[in-house]
Amino acid sequence: MAEADAAHVRLTQKRAQTFLFSERLVARVLSALFASGALALAGYLALEGHDTVAGVIAGTTIVGVVTALIFGRGPASDG
């Protein structure tokens, strides 16, 4: 009975680790897509003559990405 319980605990822990890994992977991929899209939008706006708006979008995107990388406070972080 104790062996069955231990096996169940190990299986549950493995599932939790797999879920956490996949959640973090999806969060990073979506974050990269969002940042790329925002920077592409900023580039398009800059080419169309909307330099101020492009600068604000690009600046806030870069600040947000750098802050998330430095502090590690994304939607999937433990702390």
Tell me the pTM.
0.68
Question: Given this model, what pLDDT does residue 12 score?
Answer: 93
- Neighbour tally for 54: CB within 10 Å: 19
Give the separation between CA 13 and CA 20, rounded to whole angstroms: 10
Q: Phi then psi for 11, rounded to 5 degrees? A: -65, -45
pLDDT above 90 for 20: yes
Q: Where are the domains of the chain?
A: 2-71
Neighbouring C-alpha atoms within 13 Å toward the C-beta of 12: 6
Q: Are 54 and 38 in contact (CB under 8 A)?
A: no
Q: In this structure, which amino acid lies at residue 60? A: T
Give the separation between CA 58 and CA 31, rounded to whole angstroms: 15
pLDDT digits (tens, 9 = 90+) for 40-49: 999 999 999 9
